[in-house]
């Protein structure tokens, strides 16, 4: 049905949902979603609904520069993905246990703009890594201190990040 294809394409473009995730949601094969997006996206483009061609941000530094130049507010949060328990005998096996959910997980930091567009998704870290530690390891503190003035909304997992750069929360 065309409405389902359109909806799947819009969710993919708006939220960055993968074809695998959309296939699960719609109860179809991944290749069906890939074909639907491939057919509907050009139809949207013909009618002026396109993604800005200059919106290709490959690093956290580019995201901070983009937010500063556009004046948009960023939203940052960490997300955990459950994984199988690492093999017995692996020396860092315990690092994958999330303190928050008490399960084996990997964590990723995601930055979106105020419109909900995903601007950056970090490489994964073991689930035991705190959100603020992950942000510091990615160099976010330095980028915010040395880069343009930006407003980034964050939850309590990032409390203290602003103080680390000399600014208030």
In a domain, 137, yes or no: yes
In a domain, 89, yes or no: yes
In a domain, 54, yes or no: no
In this structure, are 64 and 117 located in the same domain?
yes
In a domain, 52, yes or no: no
pLDDT at residue number 48: 66
> Among candidates 151, 104, 145, 147, which has minimal Cα distance to 128?
104
Q: Which helix (H) or strand (E) holds 74?
A: strand 74-82
pLDDT at residue number 168: 40
pLDDT at residue number 144: 86
The label of the residue with tokens 């996206």 reads 41
pLDDT at residue number 169: 37
CA distance 26 to 9: 12
Q: Which two tokens stand for residue 168?
A: 């208030």
In this structure, are 33 and 70 located in the same domain?
no
In this structure, are 25 and 96 located in the same domain?
no
CA distance 88 to 93: 7
In this structure, are 98 and 124 located in the same domain?
yes
> Among candidates 144, 4, 167, which has minimal Cα distance to 76?
144
Reduce the secondary structure of 109-139 to three states and give it as a string.
EEEEECCCCEEEECCCEECCCCHHHHHHHCC
Residue 23 in contact with residue 33, Cβ under 8 Å? yes
Residue 10 is part of which domain span? Answer: 2-46
- Return all residues near 45 (Cβ < 8 A) that are at least 6 apart: none
In this structure, are 69 and 148 located in the same domain?
yes
Residue 121 in contact with residue 110, Cβ under 8 Å? yes
Per-residue pLDDT of the chain (169 residues; tens, 9 = 90+): 888 888 888 888 777 788 988 999 899 999 999 999 999 888 887 776 655 555 667 788 888 988 888 888 999 988 877 777 666 776 766 666 665 666 777 788 888 888 877 888 888 877 777 788 888 888 888 888 888 888 989 888 888 776 544 444 3
CA distance 163 to 141: 10
Residue 53 DSSP SS3: coil
pLDDT at residue number 167: 44
pLDDT at residue number 118: 80
pLDDT at residue number 35: 93
CA distance 19 to 32: 9
Residue 72 DSSP SS3: coil
In a domain, 33, yes or no: yes
Residue 34 DSSP SS3: helix
In this structure, are 23 and 92 located in the same domain?
no
């Amino acid at each position: 049905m065309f409405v389902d294809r359109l909806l799947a394409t819009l969710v993919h473009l708006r939220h960055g949902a993968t074809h695998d995730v959309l296939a699960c949601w719609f109860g179809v094969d991944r290749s069906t979603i890939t074909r639907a997006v491939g057919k509907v996206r050009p139809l949207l483009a013909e009618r002026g609904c396109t993604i800005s061609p200059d919106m290709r941000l490959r690093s956290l530094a580019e995201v901070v520069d983009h937010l500063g130049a556009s004046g948009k507010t960023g939203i940052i949060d960490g997300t955990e993905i459950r994984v199988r328990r690492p093999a017995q005998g692996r020396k860092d096996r315990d690092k994958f246990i999330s303190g928050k959910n008490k399960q084996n997980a990997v964590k990723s930091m995601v930055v979106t703009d105020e419109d909900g567009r995903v601007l950056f998704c970090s490489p994964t870290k073991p689930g035991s890594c705190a959100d603020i530690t992950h942000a510091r390891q990615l160099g976010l503190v330095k980028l915010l201190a040395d880069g343009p003035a930006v407003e980034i909304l964050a939850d309590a997992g990032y409390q203290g990040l602003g103080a680390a750069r000399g600014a208030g929360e």
